Amino acid sequence: MDLITPGFGLVFWQTIVFLGLVFVLSRYAWKPMLNAVKERESSIEASLSAAEKAKDEMAKLQSDNEKLLDEARLERDKMLKEALASANRIKGEAKEDASKISGKMIEDAKAAINTEKDAAMTEMKNHVAALSMEIAEHLLRQNLSDDEQQKQLVTRFINELNIN
């Protein structure tokens, strides 16, 4: 049993050595180690807070980007709608102008046709009148070659004039 229970002197010297070791370690080793641990802990906390800030900024930037993309999409849609409306308006105006122009051309053509038709009818009437006069002149020359026939014709015209 002597081997299991240590003597008082051994316990005393072990305690003094332990306390001396604790003093030396606390003075020269633990303070620098604790300072290094504290520095590391503070740098880790700073890094974590910086990472959290960066994460928050990234989320904010991402939401800003999404907002900008949505605004850009809305602007694009608005521009497309305006362009489509403008194209439809221009197309409608072009159709309207084309129908006005074609209507005017048709009216002008009808007027020209009527003018030409009237001119042709007038010319035809004049030509028919001239031919009728020639035919009448030829007939009268042949029929009125003697005096008796002339007197009968004049008498008949006078009688017809009196009747009318």
Confidence of residue 2 (pLDDT cuts 50, 70, 90): low
pLDDT at 121 over 60: yes
Phi, psi at 27, each rounded to 5° = -75, -45
Distances (CA, A) of 17 to 12, 20, 26, 31: 9, 5, 14, 20
pLDDT at 78 over 70: yes
- Cβ atoms < 10 Å from Cβ of 153: 13
Average pLDDT over residues 2-25: 87
What gap in Å lies between CA 17 and CA 61, rounded to an integer? 61
How does DSSP classify residue 133?
A: H
Q: What is the pLDDT of residues 16-45, one digit of tens each?
A: 999 999 999 888 888 788 888 999 999 999
Quick one: pLDDT at residue 145?
Answer: 64
Domain regions of the chain by residue span: 8-163
3-state secondary structure of 103: helix
Q: What is the pTM of this model?
A: 0.41
Average pLDDT over residues 6-25: 90
Average pLDDT over residues 137-153: 70
